[in-house]
Amino acid sequence: MDSEATPVHAEIALVVNGTEHRLRVDTRASLLDTLREDLGLTGSKKGCDHGQCGACTVLLDGRRANACLALAVAHDGAEVVTVEGLARDGRLSPLQEAFIEHDGFQCGYCTPGQLCSATAVLDEADRGWPSAVTEDLTADPVLDDDEIRERMSGNLCRCGAYTGIVKAVREAARETETDGARA
Amino acid sequence: MSDRLESREKVTGAARYAYEHPLENPAYAAAVQSTVAKGEILEVHADAALRIPGVLTVLSCENAPHLHEVANGELAVFQSRTVAYRGQFVAAVIAETLDIAREAARHVRVDYVSEPFDVLLSADDPRLYKPDKVNPAFPADTEQGDPEGAFAGSAVRVDATYTTPAEHNNPMEPHTTAAQWNDDGTLTLYDSTQGASLVQDTIAQVFGLDRTHVRVIARHVGGGFGSKGTPRPNVVLAAMAAGAVGRPVKFAVPRQQMFATTGYRTPTIQRFRLGADADGTLNSIIHEVFEQSSTVTEFAEQTATPTRVMYRAGNRRTAHRLVRLDVPTPSWMRAPGETPGMFAQESAMDELAVAAGVDPVELRIRNDTDREPDSGLPFSSRNLVACLREGADRFGWEHRDPAPGVRREGRKLVGTGVAASTYPAYLRPNKATARAEEDGTFTVRIAAADIGTGARTALTLIAAEALKADADRVTVEIGDSALPQASVAGGSAGTASWGTAVVRACESLLGKMNGSVPPGGLEASADTAEEIRARDAYARHAFGAQFCEVEVDADTGEVRVRRMLGVFAAGRIINAKTARSQFIGGMTMGIGMALMEESAMDPEFGDYVNRDLAQYHVPACADVRDIDAAWVEESDPHLNPMGAKGIGEIGIVGAAAAVANAVHHATGVRVRDLPITPARLLPLL
């Protein structure tokens, strides 16, 4: 037998949705499988396991990432936010509310990834990060429909809920802007 | 207009799909696929895999338990040494964790005697034959009058061959089963399926069990689009594995393995002939279809059936010819038959419009019919013309210049196109129960499936209306074969079929209640089999019209859909919010069909080579811009108590033709082979 086939384990810590977990993981285990199988956080979905569909998108140390492409052992000490961590004290986030309002999903399987991705999109725009369709790279990006479509294109939806998703992100972006102005 | 009832669960991650139900001490399966396209398995070497710590067992044709034969040969998992296509499941490793199972699967070596194989569809294959029927039970061929003679004698003729490639459904949730054998010998399956009752019946047969000993639970399903309409090998594999290791087993088909093992739309080659008078009035319609199935199971897609429905012509012929190749087994994909068939028909109609110098909207109106041409039956309702007129009005079709290839905006060539849509309004027998409690609440039960269609919500609205109660007092339980037996979420027949049983159960309950609920509550049930058998003979179909504007980059050949509008006539719309989403979802998949979706068969090794989502392209957010769906009011008393036709599939029907017709209008290039990729279009610009 190949020696490489014998499982190797490592102790790691992860802070997931604000709770610290100490885990013994197979060094081959993806962050996605670790969340789903070890921590029972099945909100993050496995659509392709190859970083091609975005259903597993989580916030990893504040940035969106495909959890299926991240080896858990490589993220010892990381802070992870999953779809289960988007609502606060039972109150849905503005994005979650807007996804319901605009029917930004049908089967719901890509939805956790869409929501985590969209949460990061709002943050990235807030930080002034341009996208491939931003014309003026030095100006603050405005999340119009073209920007939203571009920035959300890493998350596939086979049901074809994109129009609802774009409307939902647009609405949440406006709310965030308004909140920002108020603050 | 209602939000989806499971919205909150879906946006918080609380909705559990098949893989996600907590099971005690589950084991994990990973499958091994054949590396030859045709042959016999000589020996399965499992020793290396079995030596890996954590591996529980390896299953293959050498040790699998005997299964009972059922009609679908794909379910005879590990029952034979014969390999029918490359990628067929030939072994499975069951292990303590998924990582161990996957690693061990790489260490299973299978020796084969490989045989010459044939995986390419061609219209002159000598083995093509006429199937006894096409899916699900239509005649393969139909003919009226003298189609060839009338065609030859027509003033305007179109004779063109269209092809559509193999396409894969690719629901976002892979085909998944978690199987558990219980102490009393019963089997519980958490399955990603469009029909819990059908899986229950089929798996009971496969394992020789009484159907009441199998329970299939599918509360949330991550899409299906036909590919989860019948059980696939994953269900059998998981159940067999759970039996072998005496523990629950979870098996999700990896995305790459889905391309061989979970079904796809057959490629088609379609010769379409239209013969018309100078003013475009049709005399002859001839539609000949060539398509494939595997050697495992005959699946004959009903590609020419919409041609039997759409336009008036006294002389007409449709024909299906099938060849059994050494390929994976094709099956249902969103509007099987209508989707590829209407691409051909609605492209041909556009070619006729150009040839006759008639506006394509007007051409379709001119050839409308008040009786179904093939059967002679009256339509229960047919509002194709209303859809065309309403759509033309909303889209701004009126002042369209028909000249192709003349609108240029910088590098972009711009054009518009139209195509018609149709899909049958089926009604299937179902059972349901309705229960009233003393506190004024109601519970309705039926083993329906919500695969993202909004079925749970629609059935709740239907039940509330039938009970004359507020929807928040009504709970509808679905997604479990322990509930009254239901048909699959397929054929756009879910809401109509389940809804009829729900209404009848609710009506029966109201009759029993007679205004009050006795202590302990009251229950009534319904079975719609007899009601459906006794229906009057009508041709029942939904119709629609799709309008599309594209821009084509003259330098790169890239086509982008600028805007798209679908107007549909589908009876009464139960829930406007989710209905619009379903129509738009179908149209979006139609954009994929038109511009990017193509599974490429490798003649060297014999399987689909682009077997993941990086290589099999489906529309992404940036591909879908201004897209909308609307519907015309349609009252049809001959359908079902709700007056509803199905809406799950019609959105994709005709969509690809609308895009292709717009590409012709933009560029003057007629693309008859989908998808319209830059590689295909650019050399012709």
Residues A75 and A120 in one domain: no
Portion 82-101 of B in contact with A at CB < 8 A = 97-100
Residues A175 and A101 in one domain: yes
Count other C-beta atoms under 10 Å from residue B470's C-beta.
9
What is the token pair recorded at B45? 């070497």
What per-residue confidence (pLDDT) applies to A175?
A: 84
Q: By the 8 A CB rule, do B30 and B174 touch?
A: no
- Quote the mean pLDDT of chain B: 98
Domain limits, CATH 3.30.365.10, in chain B: 334-425+538-684, 431-533
| pLDDT per position as a tens digit, B162-193 | 999 999 999 999 999 999 999 999 999 999 99
Contacts of B254 in chain A (CB under 8 A): 49
Domain boundary among A36, A68, A85: A85
For residues A3-13, average pLDDT: 87
What per-residue confidence (pLDDT) applies to B365?
A: 98
Q: CB-based contact (8 Å) between A170 and chain B?
A: no
Portion 94-153 of A in contact with B at CB < 8 A = 96, 99-101, 103, 105-112, 115, 145, 148-150, 152-153
Q: Is the pLDDT of residue A1 over 80?
A: no
For residues A135-164, average pLDDT: 96
Q: Which of B172, B450, B562, B611 to mutate to test the interface with A (most CBs of A within 10 A)?
A: B172
What CATH number corresponds to the domain at position A54?
Answer: 3.10.20.30
Q: Is the pLDDT of residue B110 over 60?
A: yes
Domain boundary among A85, A102, A135: A85
Residues A102 and A168 in one domain: yes
Q: How do B109-114 and B39-45 pair as beta strands?
A: antiparallel
Q: What are phi and psi of B400, to 5 degrees?
A: -65, 130
**DSSP SS3 for B362:** helix
Q: Which residues of B640-670 are buried (b: 16+ CB within 10 A; e: fewer)?
A: bbbbbbbbbbbbbbbbbbbbbbbbbbbbbbb
- In order, the DSSP letters of B394-434 are HHT-TT----TT--EETTEEEEEEEEEEEEE------EEEE
What per-residue confidence (pLDDT) applies to A6?
A: 84
pTM: 0.98
Q: How do A9-16 and B412-424 pair as beta strands?
A: unpaired
Split into its structural domains, chain A has a count of 2
Q: CB-based contact (8 Å) between B266 and chain A?
A: no
Closest CA to B465 of B497, B431, B503: B503
What per-residue confidence (pLDDT) applies to A4?
A: 66
Distance of CA B120 to the CA centre of its chain: 23
Count other C-beta atoms under 10 Å from residue B604's C-beta.
9
Secondary structure of chain A in HEC code, one letter for each residue = CCHHHCCCEEEEEEEECCEEEEEEEECCCEHHHHHHHHCCCCCCCCCCCCCCCCCCEEEECCEEEEHHHCEHHHHCCCEEECHHHCCECCECCHHHHHHHHCCCCCCCCCHHHHHHHHHHHHHHHHCCCCCCCCCCCCCCCCCCHHHHHHHCCCCCCCCCCHHHHHHHHHHHHHHHHHHHHHC
Residues A100 and A150 in one domain: yes
| pLDDT per position as a tens digit, B443-470 | 999 999 999 999 999 999 999 999 999 9
* CATH tag for B334-425+538-684 (out of 3.30.365.10, 3.30.160.20, 3.10.129.10, 3.40.50.2300): 3.30.365.10
ipTM higher than the 0.95 cut = yes
| pLDDT per position as a tens digit, B250-280 | 999 999 999 999 999 999 999 999 999 999 9
Residues A122 and A70 in one domain: no
Residues A74 and A105 in one domain: no
| pLDDT per position as a tens digit, B630-646 | 999 999 999 999 999 99
Count other C-beta atoms under 10 Å from residue B153's C-beta.
13
Residues A127 and A47 in one domain: no
Residue position matching structure tokens 């989710």 = B578
Strand partners, A20: A15
Helical axes A162-182 vs A111-126, angle rounded to 10°: 40
Residues A71 and A148 in one domain: no
What per-residue confidence (pLDDT) applies to A182?
A: 42
| pLDDT per position as a tens digit, A66-109 | 999 999 999 999 999 999 999 999 999 999 999 999 999 999 99
Residue position matching structure tokens 């990061």 = A120
Tell the burial category of B525 from Cβ atoms under 10 Å away from its Cβ (0-12, 13-18, 19+).
Answer: middle
Residues A107 and A38 in one domain: no
| pLDDT per position as a tens digit, B553-603 | 999 999 999 999 999 999 999 999 999 999 999 999 999 999 999 999 999
The parent domain of residue A147 ranges over: 94-182
CATH number assigned to the domain covering B7-116+170-261: 3.90.1170.50
The nearest alpha carbon in chain A to B616 belongs to A52
* Confidence band, pLDDT 50/70/90 cuts, at residue A180: low
User: What's B431-533's CATH class?
Assistant: alpha beta
In angstroms, the CA A112 to CA A46 distance is 11
**CA A44, A45, A51: angle at the middle one, nearest 5?**
105
Residues A76 and A101 in one domain: no
| DSSP H/E element including B506 | helix B494-513
* Confidence band, pLDDT 50/70/90 cuts, at residue A176: confident
Domain boundary among A36, A66, A85: A85
Nearest CB partner across the interface for A164, out of B107, B581, B618: B581
Residues A76 and A108 in one domain: no
Q: CB-based contact (8 Å) between B104 and chain A?
A: yes
What per-residue confidence (pLDDT) applies to A183?
A: 39
* Confidence band, pLDDT 50/70/90 cuts, at residue B515: confident
Q: Is the pLDDT of residue B102 over 80?
A: yes
Nearest CB partner across the interface for B221, out of A84, A107, A157: A107
Q: How do B142-144 and B408-409 pair as beta strands?
A: unpaired
The nearest alpha carbon in chain B to A153 belongs to B621
